[in-house]
Structure 1
């Protein structure tokens, strides 16, 4: 018909998004207030139904203007969703660099600064930072779910920057344990869990792809930072490198934290509903001798109902998931996987020097391995969307085992060590990118950060 406007293929109207608000406005308490009002009825004459043409086929043919699958993917999350993915990508590109994906570069140079300290003792600095990041995950998730993802991630960015500045003044090895280890780990935890949780709130059909793109920032950041960090240390020194890295983290992660907003802000929704209820009560004020508001029975419970509907679970209430066998199984599996997945990254450059390669060649291998992780996280997300998230995780677990037990045993040259590192990082990307997908599919996205933190 000529009067109909063309539909927007990128319309972000989603029944799952609009359902909560619609359900609250149509709650019994609000319906009682409008008992004295009649709803307008739509006449069949005012809304003519188009007649079916006998020439039209039984099955409608697709419109030539219908969006292609790629366009559909772009439209699912909307602009706000893809900005959240971008913010998560930028945060991932830096938060794990000083303790995980480029820490192998720091190990060799710390051995020169803290002479007499074994490589294992220095590597424990990165292990401490990584462990604190995940151990504090549950608290960080609760903080993010209650106070907002933006605020929590920004606080983590500030804490990470401060920790690296303090680490640059370290005189003894235990100073690094407290600064680059414990303090940086807490900051990374505050930034990581909101960043990993937010893409799942905007995407359902292409959730694996969205999270894969977000966490691929770790691989791309490691690919760029490994050789750059090594060159920067040679140009200035390791402590000025820490200070420069602190500035970069504050600018990039702090700015990116402004992009990772939750899809639904329950605080704003609650305020809006309370204002709407006050307006309706004022309109129903009876003039004359009564001069008071007519409020039917049950209407006074609207605010309490609204608060219950939008209130996040407390710290102890969130522990209910431990009663779920599926959650326990997933937690145990990921805990055992996290014990050893960082070991190749910590010792890859040290092992490269051990087999006769140069420090620069070791840094290049580490960078290529992180680049492989960048590709793997996006590719595995696409595969998980099309096949199965659980099967993809299982396949990648065996891929990691083979790369360590077979390829690392044969790694005696630049080519074989690079093959081992790239193969391992290609599959290990599933550890980060697909676990949030499994959590979102099984337990929803309302308390996503808390669930991943567990």
Structure 2
């Protein structure tokens, strides 16, 4: 079995928040990572199952928004409806400020089990909702909080099993979100006119229940819980300029990341695309992102995680500001240009989910990963909360046109790339050939 080594601080065992009698064992375990083998890859399988559910739904919110905007919530504006899904995304990431440290302190199961129950319950309650506040409470609030209890531990546990191949492992796990983002829109579109909205969402809930049971059975941690770790945000992390620049890049990514997910179905309908096909375009985007999650992760372990992020995030900005805005400039629909944009952008944007956690782990002591990861995404979640409504406000100010929204999205990706460049420079220097 291949094992990799990593540097561990030589602090006394008690100062590192570890039981004194386990000190030597923990130090030995942390000096070697399995980086493969049955147990390690079963953890990846479990994380993949968790991602199918949690991130699969997160990737499908555009279909749900388009449906609510033309049916149950037709009297509300797109901007108002988008708040339901913005709150979901905000809580999905913001709750990591508590869940990350709780993972360090208590481990995996005490978080994932209640999170799984809550997430399935949110979908069942969402299926019977009729009023705006019911959709907000069931999906936006309960779904967002519960999803964070699944997502954060699912990512954190992989870091305890992989080091050299960490980018590949997390990339493979996060393809589950892309698969879910393909499956769920197709399930919704194929069933919703046959069995209705309520039963369609219940079927989605049962699929999530199955994947979460498998996730709980497969995922596990390697290191003992850090009982001295408290459940608070680690503001001292922002004194590290590498972490500060990475967090700023993550913020800009979250400002932009869900805009294509949420608005492209509506954009396609606005451009005159057939309703059935318009709902399937989200599946095209998520299908392309499957390859964009694991393949760049594979190469990132060889050419550098930050290097790969800079390239792919820069590509996202270019594709938004060329292909998507080009499709908007055409009178009527240009389906070929739309699909070309979805494929190349979907591929490039996959690293925004799969490699950001790996970048954080590269500049973090693994025993404090949950805390720092939660701290970063609690900051970035403000971008998640505000990005989509800002895009909606821009669209309303232009009387429903999309060009301003598209430019805003593209510029967010460009600024995110610049912050990743600074983070890389602060960490490893400014020479282009450096692998980092």
Instruction: Give the TM-score range, shorter chain.
Output: 0.7 to 0.9
Shift of 1:413: 2.0
What whole-Å deviation, never above 9, does each CA across 1:93-133 have from its counterpart, x for those lacking one? 121333x3112221232121223122222222111101111
**CA displacement, residues 28-52 of structure 1 (integer Å, 9 cap, x when unaligned):** x99xxxxxxxxxxxxxxxxxxxxxx
Equivalent residues of 2:184, 2:204 under 8 A apart? no
The residue number in structure 1 matching 2:370 is 449
Distance apart, 1:359 and its partner CA:
2.0
Per the alignment, in what secondary structure is the counterpart of residue 432 of structure 1? Answer: helix
1:356 equivalent in alignment to 2:272: yes
Is there any run of 5+ residues in structure 2 with no aligned partner, and where? 15-19, 22-32, 328-332, 376-436
Q: Distance in 1 between matches of 2:311 and 2:298?
A: 14
Change (3 A) 1:431 1:85: same
Tell me what 2:342 maps to.
421
Counterpart of 2:59 (choices 82, 101, 106) is 101
Q: Following the alignment from structure 1 to structure 2, what is the Cα–Cα distance between the partners of residues 321 and 396?
A: 26
- Matched residues in 1 for 2:311 and 2:337: separation? 22
Aligned residue number for residue 432 of structure 1: 353
2:288 aligned with 1:372, yes or no?
A: yes
**How many residue pairs are counted as aligned between the two chains?**
352
CA distance in 2, matches of 1:96, 1:407: 26
* 1:72-91 map, 5 Å: 76-91=35-50
Hey, what's the Cα distance between the residues in 1 that align with 2:318 and 2:5?
44
Distance 2:216 2:94 in 1: 22
Q: Is the 8 A contact 1:153 1:254 kept in 2?
A: no
Correspondence for 2:263: 347
Larger radius of gyration: 1
Give the direction of change, closer, same or farther, for the CA distance of 1:260–1:319 in structure 2 (3 Å limit): farther
Determine the structure 1 residue equivalent to 2:242.
326
TM-score (norm 2): 0.75
* 1:48-59 equivalent positions in 2, closer than 5 A: none
CA distance in 2, matches of 1:442, 1:19: 14
Paired with 1:384 and 1:163, the residues of 2 have a C-alpha distance of 36
Query: Residue in 2 aligned with 1:392?
Result: 308
**2: CA distance, partners of 1:311 / 1:146:** 5
Distance 1:449 1:106, change over 3 A: same
The reply to whether residue 222 of structure 1 matches residue 138 of structure 2 is no
More helix by share: 2
Hey, what's the Cα distance between the residues in 2 that align with 1:226 and 1:240?
A: 14
TM-score of the two chains, using structure 1 as the length reference: 0.73
What is residue 211 of structure 2 aligned with on the other side?
A: 252
| 1:49-99 Cα deviation digits (max 9, x unpaired) | xxxxxxxxxxxxxxxxxxxxxxxxx9733211101101111111121333x
Gapped runs of 5+ residues in structure 1? Answer: 1-9, 31-73, 267-309
